[in-house]
Amino acid sequence: MEDKTHNQLRQQPKTAADKSESWARLAWAHLESVRKSYTSPLVQCITNFVSMDLVANVLLAAGASPAMIHSAEEIPDFTPKAQALYINVGTLTPEWLPAMKMAAQVANESKRPWVLDPVAAGASDFRLRACLDLLTLRPTVVRGNGSEILALLKGSVDENSKGVDSSHESTEAVEAAKSLARISGSIIAVSGAVDIVTDGERVVGAKNGVPLLQKITATGCAVTALIAAFVAVHPSHPFEATAAALSVFGVASEIGMESAKGPASLRMHLIDALHGLDQATVLQIVSISNV
Ligand SMILES: Nc1ncnc2c1ncn2[C@@H]1O[C@H](COP(=O)(O)OP(=O)(O)O)[C@@H](O)[C@H]1O
Ligand SMILES: Cc1ncsc1CCOP(=O)(O)O
Ligand SMILES: [Mg+2]
């Protein structure tokens, strides 16, 4: 079913409505694969201290198995067992960086996809160099906010950096994302009101989501982890998997928002909604289209 849907997306000509339906089917197919016990992926996460809890809970709610394993000593044994690796530099220290690089190399050697979240890439020279070094190890996908993707392309510290928060709309970083995708060979995703996904040629926007997500720490980290889980189940289609993950996370936030009273309860209802998402809801609400 899923390969058929990938083919449908590629066939031309197509109406916008047909394409939109194909994207929604694809998003559901990814979530279904993550949930099925025989395809449910083990995702190794080397992520920041702030995000560990939300990342693990979002992966579990989606049906994946998270493992927060970051010591260099364990990487040779463990990384080849995982179906995907997630690296996030949010609370980076010099002690953690070698393990991140080693894990990325082992994932590459084991033909496992790996996904990078370049949190606050433009905030300091140390962080920027670390992210650029990791980029040379060819992540399958990079997901950042507008400011992070612009900083990676520019390769210089951002004087106006707001740290982990973005001072740019995702739409301001579309051309930067395309260039970065061409240079790096990675799929580049830029989150925001519209999540942008590009392989350097194709560009789609995933429109699901609610603004209150910005008031919950680590939602960016969590959606990047969900991308890793979706890429794990269909590693030969990372562009489609990335758009699907961003959209499904956004759909869960829209459902969660119906019961939320503020950021704290949205966090809880988002996890519940992701856990309970059904096919009809996904097909009805997913909104992915060409940019
Ligand atoms: N204005 C917005 N409206 C709807 N969803 C948003 C908005 N801004 C961010 N999001 C969503 O919030 C999540 C985190 O994105 P973002 O805040 O850009 O990442 P980060 O936390 O890394 O800066 C993503 O799922 C994104 O789609
Ligand atoms: C607040 C904070 N500080 C360092 S990492 C982090 C979490 C950032 O999470 P996100 O990028 O998803 O907002
Ligand atoms: Mg972030």
Q: Which ligand is nearest to the CA of 218?
A: 2
Rg of the Cα atoms in the chain: 17
- Distance (angstroms) between ligand 1 centre and the Cα of 224 equals 11
Which residue type is seen at 73? E
Mutate which of 164, 169, 191 for ligand 1? The one with the most ligand atoms within 8 Å of its CB, which is 191
> How many CB atoms neighbour CB 212 within 10 A?
17
Mutate which of 213, 253, 257 for ligand 1? The one with the most ligand atoms within 8 Å of its CB, which is 213
Give the pLDDT confidence score for residue 12 in this predicted structure: 58
Give the pLDDT confidence score for residue 2 in this predicted structure: 52
Give the pLDDT confidence score for residue 285 in this predicted structure: 98
Please report how many Cα atoms fall inside a 13 Å half-sphere around the Cα of residue 268, on the Cβ side: 6
Distance in angstroms (rounded) separating the CA atoms of residues 50 and 218: 7
Give the pLDDT confidence score for residue 62 in this predicted structure: 98
Q: ipTM more than 0.90?
A: yes
Pocket of ligand 2 (CB under 6 A): 48, 50-51, 90-91, 119, 164, 217-221
Give the pLDDT confidence score for residue 1 in this predicted structure: 47
pTM comes to 0.97
Atom 19 of ligand 1, residue of closest alpha carbon: 220
- Distance (angstroms) between ligand 3 centre and the Cα of 144 equals 6
Q: Which ligand is nearest to the CA of 169?
A: 1
User: pLDDT tens, position by position, for the chain (291 residues)?
Assistant: 457 777 777 765 578 888 889 999 999 999 999 999 899 999 999 999 999 999 999 999 999 999 999 999 999 999 999 999 999 999 999 999 999 999 999 999 999 999 999 999 999 999 999 999 999 999 999 999 999 999 999 999 999 999 999 999 999 999 999 999 999 999 999 999 999 999 999 999 999 999 999 999 999 999 999 999 999 999 999 999 999 999 999 999 999 999 999 999 999 999 999 999 999 999 999 999 999
Pocket of ligand 1 (CB under 6 A): 145, 165-166, 191-193, 195, 209-211, 213-214, 219-220, 223, 249-250
H helices of the chain, where? 2-10, 16-35, 52-62, 75-78, 97-109, 125-136, 146-154, 174-184, 219-233, 238-257, 263-276, 279-285
Number of the ligand 2 atom closest to the C-alpha atom of 214: 13
